[in-house]
Amino acid sequence: MKKLALLPMVLCFFMLLSSMVSAESNSPHNWGFKKAKNGVPAEAGKMYDDMITEYGAIYKGDTTKKDIYLTFDNGYENGYTEKVLNVLKKQQVPAAFFVTGHYLNSAPDLVKRMVKEGHIVGNHSWHHPDMTRITADKIRQELEMVKEKTEQLTGQKTMNYLRPPRGVFSETTMAVSKEEGYLHIFWSLAFKDWEVDKQKGAQNSYNEVIKQIHPGAILLLHTVSKDNADALDSIITDLKKQGYTFKSLDDLMIQQQLPDPMLY
């Protein structure tokens, strides 16, 4: 009888423990790292490095090779993406554009052009939510809506890369996204470029990139920035002079022998 009396207490304990583990796995993190300086690569620290390894995410490439990866976040169109695409075409540089539902609806011709000119269109979620605050089913819905709309517009049938909205993520959001066939793409070079009313001129954008550049860097830029659009040609030209080669995220996945996310 005593054993039976203890049973509810044991069950409660394990339910509480399970709840605690679940809450811990969905604890929000804001992506951050020690910035690169003098060519020394950025470092995210052991905790993030361990999560990156566990969930097959990426924030930088091989730091022994002067390959770099240009990525843009496209939450909404501010009139500068066409110029960015013109520069990329002129310089013959590949890039990845992470788009939202708003962007797909408001700038379909630009998305079509991205794919037509050989760039990667990645997932930035439909509504740009904090995904640590929504359910797993809602995360899946956010991702699927972007994928379906992109395919309707461009014919692109696969979407392998995800950039978490606002840079907020958790072990749960990474696990759910991985189950849906996505690799989290973080970054190792960024600066505060998204405030459209606080642009500081093309030279500032140029300086920020050049001082943080390092082998294997994944650059995050926002296309809403006039400074970025105005500086991009000079940035690419001078980085090429420094011996850097611009590669695509697909090249990085092959180089690091990462698993094909569609096999998850």
What are the pLDDT digits (tens) for 78-126?
999 999 999 999 999 999 999 999 999 999 999 999 999 999 999 999 9
Q: What is the mean pLDDT of residues 7-11?
A: 46
Catalytic, 102? Answer no
pLDDT of residue 227: 98
Please report whether residue 98 resides in a domain.
yes
pLDDT of residue 5: 54
Please report whether residue 146 resides in a domain.
yes
How many other C-beta atoms are found inside a 10 Å radius of the C-beta of residue 158? 12
Please report whether residue 232 resides in a domain.
yes
Please report whether residue 150 resides in a domain.
yes
Count of structural domains within the chain: 1
Please report whether residue 219 resides in a domain.
yes
Choosing from 214, 222, 230, 233, the catalytic residue is 222
Contact 224, 192 (CB under 8 A): no
Please report whether residue 116 resides in a domain.
yes
Contact 157, 192 (CB under 8 A): no
pLDDT of residue 6: 52
Calculate ∠ Cα 42-44-48, nearest 5°: 155
254 or 168, which is more confident?
168
53 or 7, which is more confident?
53
Q: What is the CATH number of the domain that holds 101?
A: 3.20.20.370
Please report whether residue 34 resides in a domain.
no
Catalytic, 137? Answer no
Choosing from 73, 193, 227, 230, the catalytic residue is 73
What are the pLDDT digits (tens) for 113-146?
999 999 999 999 999 999 999 999 999 999 999 9
- Examine the pLDDT at 9 and tell me if it is beyond 90: no
Please report whether residue 254 resides in a domain.
yes
Q: What is the mean pLDDT of residues 16-42?
A: 75
The verdict on pTM exceeding 0.85 is yes
- Residues of the domain holding 121: 52-263
Q: What percent of the chain is modeled with pLDDT above 90?
A: 84
